């Protein structure tokens, strides 16, 4: 999976020149200026003005295939971003997205309006700083929420309204700091209140204060950990293993997926349907029979070892940025509505079918060997050395974080931060604590990210913190964002959008499974571990009689909760007995 997601840069963006002849304007791009690729603006790249076949070359049996593919990558122009530019309106600073309107720094998103700073955002409006959110409105700082309205700093919630700092709540209204509630209203830390006292208590919290909100957030997360958690997130599934699985059947090791059948090692398929796939990351929508693929979908079938191949394509191998009805491609880049091509060179059907088996045999007899001595033959995804991006420019750093030294030791490229040419106008510790004290003129000013500089400063010396979260060191507040914070009575953020994103995804369990036994011991749970920021041990007292009686629950399962984590993890039967 690391090898595949090394090709996906969502959030590390640069200004660079467009390489279309006669075009000199600076555009936002996933490619920094020193990258050895030509990049075209999207309108030009998707047009018929240029022909990717002009870069075709005859297969060379004296060189490894992957070396020839590396040369082709550097020859064929790349689109400057990955957005469906014809459907994105006033959303120039977004990437990996389609059907956006008035959006800013949104990625992995579709059908979103008046929103900013999110990833995995679908069918939403007026949402800021969310991850893995769908069909929601006026919500902020959430992870994995669905069909929610005015929901803030919550996790794994659905069909909720006016819910704050809550986890695993469904169908709730006006709840604060709650966990595992179903169809409840006016609860604070799972304690019921009448309507008037509920709102009186919220006023006492002074939620617009950053200092107060941080204290309450810490207390809420501590409270969550004292309640049982179901061993996995998902519903409407049959015979599945993994986490965040919905409406799926016969899936092993699936994560963050919807509508997947008969597949294994599948991740990030938000859009159904996906069938008969193995080692596949990102997308879906009619994807069938894919192997070792990244970002392939929209009625794509029989695709192997490829990246960004979509829209009615079939029988494609080792290709990149190909689609629109193409078929029978091998080692191609940028082709649309083409068939029987190898390294962007056109062949007849007979020539193609004769040459491909010879190339496969050659890939095995003359494999590519990378600088760490790793051997790549036919059947392997592209070697990491061929990726257009450094490790820390991609989502690999989100799912499997490494330090610079670790990445280089493992043979991955690393990009040091580019020197910033701005001057900090507002130090982080000078931001107003309460949203009511924030002036209008804060919009557009350069604010120091809380991760960029240590709090202790002496004289003119600034001691820099090494942040491993793609930190941009500074950020700005945009006008719609300030209006949103005021409407929702939320304090200003203290971190840049990238660092805020990394704090959100800490709520996401890792893409890994551990074999464990249910922690229910009969009348109580086991005592949880204390290796958490709260340094607290938790033991939950059951509120209902369980089917296993006073004896420990014998159920075992595969879960993404590691044994050393602080959560109390129950099997589905024990969890449902307590919660439902």
Q: What is the mean pLDDT of residues 519-531?
A: 87
Decide if 449 is inside a domain.
Answer: yes
Tell whether the model's pLDDT for residue 85 goes beyond 90.
no
Last residue of a domain, one of 480, 505, 530: 505
Whether 363 and 59 have beta carbons less than 8 Å apart is answered as no
Token couple for 298: 């929209």
Return the pLDDT at 21: 87
Residue bearing the bigger pLDDT, 461 or 559: 559
What pTM was estimated for this model as a whole?
0.93
The model's pLDDT over 360-406, given as tens digits with 9 standing for 90+, comes to 999 999 999 999 999 999 999 999 999 999 999 999 999 999 999 99
Q: What 3-state class would DSSP assign to 398?
A: helix
Tell whether the model's pLDDT for residue 457 goes beyond 60.
no
Return the pLDDT at 286: 93
Decide if 525 is inside a domain.
Answer: no
Tell whether the model's pLDDT for residue 463 goes beyond 50.
no
Q: What is the mean pLDDT of residues 228-241?
A: 96
d(CA 88, CA 82): 11
d(CA 179, CA 579): 10
Q: What is the mean pLDDT of residues 522-546?
A: 81
Decide if 483 is inside a domain.
Answer: yes
- Nearest residue to 448 (alpha-carbon basis) of 489, 481, 494, 480: 494
Number of domains forming the structure of the chain: 2
Model confidence at 461, in pLDDT bands (50, 70, 90)? Answer: very low
Tell whether the model's pLDDT for residue 509 goes beyond 90.
yes
d(CA 539, CA 541): 7
The model's pLDDT over 181-198, given as tens digits with 9 standing for 90+, comes to 999 999 999 999 999 999
Q: What region, left, alpha or beta, does residue 281 occupy, with left being phi > 0 and alpha being psi -120 to 50 degrees?
A: beta
d(CA 133, CA 144): 5
Model confidence at 535, in pLDDT bands (50, 70, 90)? Answer: low
C-alpha separations of 106 from 136, 245, 294, 460, 547 in Å: 15, 23, 20, 36, 46
Whether 448 and 457 have beta carbons less than 8 Å apart is answered as no
Tell whether the model's pLDDT for residue 538 goes beyond 90.
no
Please give the full DSSP string across 284-336, using - where no structure is assigned: ESSEEEEEEEEEEESSEEEEES-EEEESSEEEEES-EEEESS-EEEES-BS-B
Return the pLDDT at 176: 98
Return the pLDDT at 465: 52
Decide if 479 is inside a domain.
Answer: yes
The model's pLDDT over 49-79, given as tens digits with 9 standing for 90+, comes to 999 999 999 999 999 999 999 999 999 999 9
Decide if 566 is inside a domain.
Answer: no
Token couple for 515: 């074999």
Model confidence at 456, in pLDDT bands (50, 70, 90)? Answer: very low
Tell whether the model's pLDDT for residue 459 goes beyond 50.
no
Dihedral Cα 90, 95, 99, 105, nearest 10 deg: -50
Q: What 3-state class would DSSP assign to 262?
A: strand
Last residue of a domain, one of 505, 538, 559: 505
The model's pLDDT over 330-346, given as tens digits with 9 standing for 90+, comes to 999 999 999 999 999 99
The model's pLDDT over 20-51, given as tens digits with 9 standing for 90+, comes to 988 888 889 999 999 998 999 999 999 999 99
Q: What percent of the chain has pLDDT over 90?
A: 89
Model confidence at 530, in pLDDT bands (50, 70, 90)? Answer: low
Q: What is the mean pLDDT of residues 250-273?
A: 95
Model confidence at 421, in pLDDT bands (50, 70, 90)? Answer: confident
Decide if 309 is inside a domain.
Answer: no
Q: What percent of the chain has pLDDT over 70?
A: 96
Whether 538 and 528 have beta carbons less than 8 Å apart is answered as yes
Last residue of a domain, one of 161, 194, 229: 229
Q: What 3-state class would DSSP assign to 514?
A: strand
Return the pLDDT at 270: 82
Decide if 98 is inside a domain.
Answer: no
Model confidence at 462, in pLDDT bands (50, 70, 90)? Answer: very low
Model confidence at 528, in pLDDT bands (50, 70, 90)? Answer: confident
Host domain of residue 491 = 428-505
Q: What is the mean pLDDT of residues 203-218?
A: 97
Decide if 448 is inside a domain.
Answer: yes
Tell whether the model's pLDDT for residue 562 goes beyond 50.
yes
Residue bearing the bigger pLDDT, 418 or 354: 354
Tell whether the model's pLDDT for residue 577 goes beyond 70.
yes
Return the pLDDT at 153: 97
Return the pLDDT at 419: 82
- Nearest residue to 502 (alpha-carbon basis) of 443, 449, 434: 449
Q: What is the mean pLDDT of residues 89-111?
A: 94
């Amino acid at each position: 999976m690391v090898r595949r997601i090394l090709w996906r840069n969502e959030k590390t963006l640069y200004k660079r020149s467009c390489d279309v002849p006669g075009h000199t304007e600076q555009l936002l791009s996933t490619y920094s200026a020193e990258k050895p690729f030509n990049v075209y603006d999207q309108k030009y790249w998707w047009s018929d003005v240029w022909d990717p076949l002009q870069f075709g070359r005859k297969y060379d049996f004296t060189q490894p295939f992957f070396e020839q593919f590396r040369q082709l990558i550097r020859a064929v122009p790349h689109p400057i971003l990955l957005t469906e530019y014809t459907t994105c309106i006033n959303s120039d600073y977004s990437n990996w997205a389609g059907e956006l309107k008035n959006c800013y720094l949104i990625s992995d998103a579709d059908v979103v309006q008046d929103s900013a700073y999110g990833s995995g955002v679908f069918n939403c409006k007026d949402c800021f700083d969310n991850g893995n959110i769908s069909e929601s409105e006026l919500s902020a700082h959430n992870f994995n929420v669905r069909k929610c309205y005015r929901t803030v700093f919550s996790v794994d919630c659905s069909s909720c309204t006016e819910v704050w700092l809550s986890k695993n709540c469904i169908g709730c209204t006006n709840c604060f700091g709650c966990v595992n509630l179903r169809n409840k209203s006016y609860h604070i830390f799972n304690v019921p209140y009448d309507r008037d006292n509920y709102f009186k208590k919220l006023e006492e919290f002074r939620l617009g204060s950053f200092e107060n909100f941080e204290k309450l957030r810490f207390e809420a997360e501590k409270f969550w950990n004292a309640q049982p958690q179901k061993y996995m997130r998902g519903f409407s599934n049959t015979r599945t293993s993994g986490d965040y699985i919905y409406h799926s059947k016969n899936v092993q090791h699936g994560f963050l997926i919807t509508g997947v059948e008969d597949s294994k090692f599948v991740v990030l398929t938000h859009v159904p349907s996906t069938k008969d796939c193995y080692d596949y990351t990102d997308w879906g929508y009619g994807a069938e029979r894919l192997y070792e693929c990244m970002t392939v979908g929209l009625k794509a079938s029989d695709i192997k070892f490829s990246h960004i191949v979509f829209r009615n394509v079939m029988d494609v191998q080792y290709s990149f940025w190909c689609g629109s009805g193409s078929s029978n491609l091998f080692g191609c880049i940028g082709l649309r509505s083409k068939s029987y091509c190898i390294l962007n060179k056109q062949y007849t059907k007979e020539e193609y079918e004769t040459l491909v088996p010879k190339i496969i045999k050659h890939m095995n007899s003359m494999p590519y060997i990378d600088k760490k001595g790793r051997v790549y033959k036919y059947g392997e995804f592209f070697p990491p050395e061929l990726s257009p991006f450094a490790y820390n420019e991609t989502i690999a750093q989100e799912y499997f974080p490494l330090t610079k030294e670790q990445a280089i030791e493992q043979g991955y490229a690393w990009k040091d931060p580019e020197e910033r040419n701005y001057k900090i106008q507002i130090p982080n510790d000078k931001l107003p604590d309460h949203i009511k004290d924030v002036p209008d003129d804060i919009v557009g000013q350069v604010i120091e990210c809380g991760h960029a500089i240590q709090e202790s400063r002496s004289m003119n010396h600034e001691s820099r913190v090494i942040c491993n979260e793609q930190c941009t060191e500074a950020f700005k507040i945009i006008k719609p964002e300030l209006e949103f914070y005021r409407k929702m009575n939320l304090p200003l953020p203290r971190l840049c959008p990238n660092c805020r994103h990394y704090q959100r995804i800490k709520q996401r369990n890792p893409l890994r499974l551990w074999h464990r036994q249910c922690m229910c011991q009969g009348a109580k749970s086991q005592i949880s571990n204390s290796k958490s920021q709260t340094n607290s041990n938790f033991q939950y007292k059951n509120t209902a009689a369980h089917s296993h009686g006073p004896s420990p629950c014998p159920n075992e399962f595969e879960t993404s909760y590691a044994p050393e984590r602080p959560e109390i993890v129950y099997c589905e039967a024990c969890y449902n007995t307590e919660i439902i």
